[in-house]
Homo-oligomer: A and B are copies of this chain.
Amino acid sequence: MRILFITGEGFEDTELLCPKYRFEEEGFQVDISALDWGEVKGNKGYIVSANLSIDEAEPEAFDALYVPGGKVAEKLAMHEAIIRLVRAIARLGRPMAAICHGPLLLAAAEVLTGRRATCYYKVSNSLQKAGAIYEDSPVVVDGNIVTSRQPSDIPQFMKETVRIFRET
């Protein structure tokens, strides 16, 4: 199983790193994409290496999509290439997971329209305006889309995400 991460400068460190380690524990391959490949720094200062740029990411190459939080996830939604990539992955029926501000990127790509989802409480209005049915729960699973609110939800979020990713 190969999982595409979409992120950028200012990611929420634990929302990227803990799921990355969790997926790798399962034997999944993690590929991190950002607008440009190379080093990307999180809010708290952790550095990860984006091994590919968004433009290089071929939707067919990945079995699942993961979007960590940090306000950067909202900013990414303003890039047409990123929206196209998320839509293409959704059209392939791949499972997706996102946490915190991450669900806003899925919503901007209209992947959450009419679907139950959650996100960081401060942006729940934006999620609803984008057409999602907001729920205030640690983890929400709707079909093959898993969303979560914040770092402290990671235990429940990872349990459901690993399950959904494995089922697909």
Write the residues of chain A forming the contact surface with B, with a CB cutoff of 8 angstroms: 13-14, 17-18, 21-22, 24-25, 44-46, 151, 154-156, 158-159
Contact = CB atoms under 8 A, between A and B. Distances in A.
A24 B156 CA distance: 8
A28 to B, nearest CB: 10
21 contacts: A13-B14, A13-B44, A14-B18, A14-B21, A14-B46, A18-B18, A18-B21, A18-B22, A21-B154, A21-B158, A22-B22, A22-B25, A22-B155, A24-B155, A25-B154, A25-B155, A25-B156, A25-B158, A25-B159, A44-B44, A44-B45
Contacts of A159: 25
A14 B151 CA distance: 12
This chain's copy number in the assembly = 2
A21 to B, nearest CB: 4
A154 B23 CA distance: 11
A80 to B, nearest CB: 33
A151 B24 CA distance: 12
B21 A155 contact: yes
A46 B151 CA distance: 11
A158 B17 CA distance: 14
Contacts of A18: 14, 17-18, 21-22
A20 to B, nearest CB: 8
Contact of A17 (B24, B45, B151, B156): B151
Contacts of A45: 44-45
Nearest to A152: B21
A50 to B, nearest CB: 16
